Amino acid sequence: MLHHISLPVRDLVHSGAFYDAALGALGYRRVFEDDDAIGYGVEDEKDLLCLKLNSDAHAASAGFHLAFSAPDKTAVDHFHNNALTVGGSDNGAPGLRPDYGASYYAAFLIDPDGHRIEAVINR
């Protein structure tokens, strides 16, 4: 359904380090960058998530978050742990979430700009 998503960030270097750590654990990488943006995905020049420099950036309210697919539970664990070391905030440690399903394994973070993100495997 979605082609890509853009998030505003106040500090592209700091946010880039956070998303390098978090998304790198899930198999995504920088596919482009310039002075005002960093794109993440799996194929060069085809971003799925784009960080856009904006000095007035604000996160959406608590009802909004982005969930990224993880290849396995270890990737979810690394997503969480790696991002905490570069300025992320814990919003739910890795683990099973039986309220969402018997095999729903996820971790939740808040990025340096307050955006809520999740990594999940559900199989």
pLDDT over 90 at 48, yes or no: yes
pLDDT over 90 at 113, yes or no: yes
State the pLDDT at residue 67.
96
pLDDT over 90 at 1, yes or no: no
State the pLDDT at residue 95.
98
State the pLDDT at residue 78.
98
Q: How far apart are CA 112 and CA 121, in angstroms?
A: 24
Question: What average pLDDT does this structure show over 93-117?
Answer: 97
